[in-house]
Chain A
Amino acid sequence: MSIRLYDIAHSRAGDKGNTLILSLIPYEEKDYDLLCERVTAEKVRLHLKSILHGNVIRYEMPNIHALQFVCSQALSGGVTTSLVMDTHGKTLSYALLEMEI
């Protein structure tokens, strides 16, 4: 049975230049291991492949039971010169939560 990330976790998007940063935080700490196992950097890259043009690095943070995905070349050039409306990529946290695992 597949689970949609939205149902078990929350996320906030941040940006630095052309880099998109997505946190992934389970509502229940017990789900942290499940997320570590199923939500790999490669899976995030594939899920967002129509947006990302670089690689994805995953950081594990067992101290707060959270994952952090740092996605390069993800914001169409970055906040100031890109032609997209959501130049910060702020809406992309909910794109990540659409992923099924």
Chain B
Amino acid sequence: MQKNKVRIGCGAGFSGDRLEPAVVLAEKGALDYLVLECLAERTIALAQKRKAADSMQGYDPLLERRIELLLPVLKQNKVRLITNMGAANPVAAADEIIRIAKKQGISVKVAAITGDDVLEHFTGEEIAMETGKPISCSGQLLSANAYLGADALLPALQSDADIIITGRVADPSLFVAPLVHEFGWSLDDPDIIGKATVTGHLLECAGQITGGYFADPVKKPVDNMHTLGHPFADVYADGSSIIGKVEGTGGSITLATAKEQLLYEVTDPHAYFTPDVIADFTTVSLRQTASDLVEMNGGGGCIKPQSLKVSIGYKAGFRGEGEITYAGAHALERAKLAGKIIKQRLNDNFSALRFDYIGHTSVHPSSLSSDYKPYEVRLRVAGNALHEREAAIIGEEVEALYTNGPAGGGGVRKYTNEVIGIVSTLIDRNKIQAKITLKEYEHQAL
């Protein structure tokens, strides 16, 4: 029998998110589905690099810890898990989940979804949306991952897999898919898919709708941020939904938190592109129905796009950084002298060097504020280079300021990091063939 209500929780909004809110949701949330959204734009390119070095790697680094905590409670409470923790290697991630299940003595069926890796389709001639130039101009291609839609997840939902693990899938599609599966909606009905996409978008950043990344102790106080609960939505067959959280968890859900999240990262509220639909956020209505409960109605959309977005990862060389702090009288003047020395020594070697005066103008220019008189200033110098040894020169020059620069500098740190760049392009959706791989472990009681 079809349900008239489906409850979906979101227990992670990024790879580094806290572990316990998902466990609380699975234990006490009375969920049908738990979603963990753990794949940021460039994370998959880094994961592709790990996979290239070791074919058993390339999935989310926190997968083992998350699954170890969640598997027993998911099985006990019959909650199905959907997550993009597969990153560049969903099949290896499924193998890892089977390994954990064996160790814990729990039967489990895992469906890995692949098909987002479309590197073989790209020659480098394709035009990048950001630059208008061929993607090969950016640098050596490392990865190309298309954003799959809800349709790619449906076969896995129709199997009786307990856990569905994917690579690159559009974030709202992780939520749209189980709703389509449960309610029997048509993926060709843009109105209902648009509504489901709005709910998915409200949930996908987890704590960002329950008071996380919202709190301001002066104007927007939020209680008990240290035990912030993550959200769930009760979604109804007409596409409307009510966002809530587990009773007793910290944080709060209000019209204000919901509005901030509705608009988050939306470049055109009339046309929010996903592989499933072009959703319209200008017709969404939000209503606070009780404490920590916000009802979502309206929304809608028009037909899904024929092309899917592809994130291209490329080698962008190395970044070198160095930092040093000055304190007390005329700290800023000494920090600026230090910056000037580095500039004079290195300006010819780097196409662009950046000088930040932390505690003074490290994130915004001084023109945005009239009152600055720092007691201490930390100089940060950063630049990009083709090779690691060139990038390292920046940190070395900052370190040399100890005995060659202004008085009283201390606390030097220096870093070099490989830079993975990202550009976007499009691919015809007909070229994409999503695939499902099932892995199963059946526990035999002794």
Give chain A's interface residues, CB within 8 Å of chain B: 6-7, 10-12, 14-19, 21, 23, 25, 27, 50-51, 59, 61, 63-66, 68, 70, 78-81, 83-86, 91-92, 95, 98
Chain A to chain B: the 5 pairs with minimum beta-carbon distance, closest first: A14-B265, A23-B263, A83-B354, A50-B365, A12-B260
What are 13 pairs between A and B in contact, CB < 8 Å?
A12-B263, A14-B263, A15-B265, A21-B267, A23-B260, A27-B256, A50-B367, A63-B284, A78-B130, A79-B42, A80-B42, A81-B384, A98-B369
The 8 Å CB contact of A83, one of B219, B365, B382, is B382
The stretch from B67-75, B233-241, B416-424 touching chain A is B416-424
Bound: A70/B264 CA distance, A: 11
Decide yes or no whether B268 CB sits under 8 A from chain A: yes
Please state if B380 and A85 are interface contacts (CB–CB under 8 Å): yes
DSSP class of A's interface residues: helix, strand, loop or mixed?
loop
Please state if B266 and A68 are interface contacts (CB–CB under 8 Å): yes
State the Cβ distance, A41 to closest chain B Cβ, in Å: 14
Q: Contacts of B268 on A, CB cut-off 8 Å?
A: 59, 70
Given the known interface contacts A66-B259, A83-B354, the answer about A21 and B384 at a Cβ–Cβ threshold of 8 Å is: no
Given the known interface contacts A70-B268, A81-B316, A83-B319, the answer about A63 and B368 at a Cβ–Cβ threshold of 8 Å is: no
Q: Contacts of B286 on A, CB cut-off 8 Å?
A: 64
Decide yes or no whether B347 CB sits under 8 A from chain A: no
By size class, the interface of chain B is 35 or more
Bound: A41/B224 CA distance, A: 37
Please state if A78 and B382 are interface contacts (CB–CB under 8 Å): no
Binary per-residue interface labels of chain B (190-230) against chain A in the complex, 1 for a CB within 8 Å, 0 otherwise: 00000000000000000000000110100110000000000
Bound: A19/B270 CA distance, A: 17
Decide yes or no whether B174 CB sits under 8 A from chain A: no
Given the known interface contacts A84-B354, A98-B369, the answer about A64 and B262 at a Cβ–Cβ threshold of 8 Å is: yes
The 8 Å CB contact of A17, one of B219, B364, B424, is B424
Please state if B421 and A95 are interface contacts (CB–CB under 8 Å): no
Given the known interface contacts A64-B286, A80-B316, A80-B420, the answer about A25 and B256 at a Cβ–Cβ threshold of 8 Å is: yes
Closest residue of chain A to B213 (Cβ to Cβ) is A12
State the Cβ distance, B232 to closest chain A Cβ, in Å: 21
Bound: A34/B213 CA distance, A: 26
Q: Contacts of A59 on B, CB cut-off 8 Å?
A: 268-270, 282
Closest residue of chain A to B285 (Cβ to Cβ) is A63
Closest residue of chain A to B352 (Cβ to Cβ) is A83
Decide yes or no whether B356 CB sits under 8 A from chain A: yes
